[in-house]
Amino acid sequence: MSNIIKELYELGRSDAWISKHLGMDRDEILRLRQITGLAALFRDVKFGQAWRPAEDVVPDEESSDSGKTHTICTLGND
C-alpha cells in the first residue's frame, strides 16, 4: 500500500485526492509516505557490525569460580 501512495504522489495527487479516492484518513497517508521515504533514504547504504562478541576473563568476587569466562561486547570498526 505504501508503494501505491508513493506512486500517486509521483503522479502529483494530493493528500485530499488520495483520501477521497482510497478512503484513507490523512494520518494513515502520512504514515505510509514516511515508510517509503525512509526506505529510499537508506536504499544504497552499507551497514557494518556495531559490535562484536569477545571473550574476556572477568573475576567473579561473589563466587568461588573467580576465573570464570564471560562473553562481553566490544565496539569496533571492522
Q: In this structure, how many other beta carbons lie within 10 angstroms of the beta carbon of residue 19?
A: 14
* pTM exceeding the 0.75 threshold for the entire prediction: no
Q: 7-33 pLDDT, tens per residue?
A: 998 899 999 999 999 999 989 998 998
Closest among 49, 47, 44, 45 to 78, alpha carbons compared: 49
For residue 5, pLDDT beyond 70: yes
Distance CA 8, CA 22 (A): 11
Question: HEC states along 11-66?
Answer: CCCCHHHHHHHHCCCHHHHHHHHHHHHHHHHCCCCCCCCCEEEEEEECCCCCCCCC
Q: 23-61 pLDDT, tens per residue?
A: 999 899 989 988 888 777 667 777 776 766 666 555 555
